[in-house]
Amino acid sequence: MIDNLLLAAEGGGQDFAAFAQYGAVGAIAFLGILFARNAYKREADRADRAYKQESDRADRMEAENRRLNDLILERVIPAMTAATSAAQDSAQLLATMQRDREIERLTMGHQRRMERGDT
């Protein structure tokens, strides 16, 4: 009996006569099965749309990530390399200046001692 009802409901209304023989209970069962089938289809369609939206969003995020990685490779890494080189040059220049000042201080001190006669 129930198998016949389910087969008739899956037919979408063309086999309503199978339900009609059970009277009001058959009509309610038919409407219930029809509603359940439509609700399931609606939810499946909604899930498919949500999956498609998330898939599209993931594709956009992946493209943005790829674009940012390319930007890092093209601009940031060369700029960081140049900045590192500049920092090394300035550190070397400061060390040279400090060494020159120390040499000048020592030679000036030696020169003063020589002028005073403190050897």
What are the residue boundaries of the structural domains of the chain, listed by start? Answer: 2-86
The one-letter amino acid code at 39 reads: A
The first and second tokens of residue 24, run together, are 């009001």
In terms of Cβ atoms closer than 10 Å to its own Cβ (0-12, 13-18, 19+), residue 16 is: middle
Nearest 5°: phi and psi at 7? -65, -40
Encode pLDDT of 13-63 as tens digits: 456 677 777 788 878 888 888 899 899 999 999 999 999 999 999 999 999
- pTM value is 0.47
